[in-house]
Structures are given as structure tokens and as C-alpha cells.
Amino acid sequence: MKNITVNKTEINKFSKLSSEWWDPNGKFKPLHKFNPVRLKYIKKSILEEFKNRNTNPPLKNIKILDIGCGGGLLSEPLCKLGADVVGIDASEKNIKIAKIHAKKSGLKINYYCASPENFNSKIKFDVILNLEIVEHVNNVNLFLKESSKFLRKDGLMFIATLNKTLKSYLFAILGAEYILRWLPIGTHDWNMFIKPDELIKICKKNSLIINEVYGVKFNVVTREWKLSSDNDVNYITKFKKI
């Protein structure tokens, strides 16, 4: 089994935290806070792209592959919206937690312990999610190449990650990990962050054309995340397969 893109250090790091995926006040509290803005954006984009506005549930018949799904924090709400969801993650512990929670929730989600290069699927998906994952893998170019194989023509790929700027080092690492303690120290390695322009170039080589880039910014007044024109720290991108 090939595991070329898997960074074992990163997998071990998140595997140790796997029991906390569904604790809104635990180590993954920032992702729980982050989830509403990315879910809203992804849902809106899918409805606009695939003209699914009049279906009930709204994402009925939309096939989604959630890569680096973790404990299923995004897979589950998308499934509840009617999508056919498959989640993959290179951590066996993450997949175990995801399966248990989906069963408890009465949701049919197919979860597999795999990375894109060793995942087998005859299905071509309408949507692929690579959210908060590319900054934790080896060889981003290969990771996205392998991911794009599963996306149908005119399908959408969403990639959310962290920009490689001084501001991202100050806010995402010094601020979020060392000062505010939103995240465990060592969650991120600034050297693995990627600039939007570099990400766009990599995706273009893999037949993925950029559609939108939004920053994702924390509002200290409302205590919520929102889309922003400022992509110096967190950002989310939408690509279309040609």
C-alpha cells in the first residue's frame, strides 16, 4: 500500500487527539467554531453550481468525497443535507471515531482509512473537500493530483488551508497555539503553509481551475468566523475540474 503523501508525524499527532473530535469544548473547539462558515459556503456553492435549489433535501444526489475527514465534523452535516458522503482519513483512530459517531447519529456515511494515493473508487464525485489538510501532508502536488482523479469533469474541489505569511505565523501559531491556547502547541508547522498563488499553480497542473478565493477571519465581537477579503491567514478556495 502506497502512503507517499502521508506525514506519519502529523497522523500520530491527530490520532492521539481522536477521542476529542466531537467535544465542542475540547482540542478541536476551533474546528467546531469554524464549521458553520465553511459549511454555509460549501452548501451555497454546490446549490449554485449544480442547480439543486428545488430538491429536498437540498444536496440530494450530490456525491461528496471528504479527504482528511477526521472524526466527520463536516461529513455529517453534509450527509444530513442529503449528500452521498464518503470520508477518507489516513488515521485509523479518526476513522473509528467517525464510524461510531455516524452510527450513533443514524447517518449512512462510508468511511475508509486511506490517503488519496491508495484509495480505490469507481465513483467520480461531484465535490471533493480538502479542508485543513494540505498543510499536514507530504508532497502537496502529488496529494492534489491523486485527489483530483476522483473528481468528475466540471466537479468542484474546495481547499481550505493557511497562507504562508508573517501574519499567519503570528496569528495561527504564536497567537492560537502559544498565547490563546486555542490549539495544542505544535498543531501547525509554518513551513508547511502554502500561499494561494502557489496552490493555484499546483491545481492548474492537475486540471483544476480557480473559481474563488476567500479569506476566513475571526470576528472578535461576534466570536464567529466569517468570509473575508483578507486571506493573509486562513483561506478557502473553490476550483473546477476541466
Query: Is 27 within the bounds of a domain?
Result: yes
Structural domain count, the chain: 1
Residue 178 forms part of a structural domain: no
Full pLDDT tens readout for the chain, 242 residues: 566 899 999 999 999 999 999 999 999 998 999 999 999 999 999 999 998 667 889 999 999 999 999 999 999 999 999 999 999 999 999 999 999 999 999 999 999 999 999 999 999 999 999 999 999 999 999 999 999 999 999 999 999 999 999 999 999 999 988 988 888 888 999 999 999 999 999 999 999 999 999 999 988 788 899 999 999 999 999 999 99
- The residue segments making up the domain with residue 28 are 8-164+192-241
Give the domain CATH number at 119: 3.40.50.150
In a domain, 171, yes or no: no
Is 86 part of a structural domain of the chain? yes
Residue 93 lies in a domain: yes
Prediction pTM value? 0.94
- DSSP letter string over 90-151? S-HHHHHHHHHHHHHTT---EEEE--GGG---SPPEEEEEEES-GGGSS-HHHHHHHHHTTE
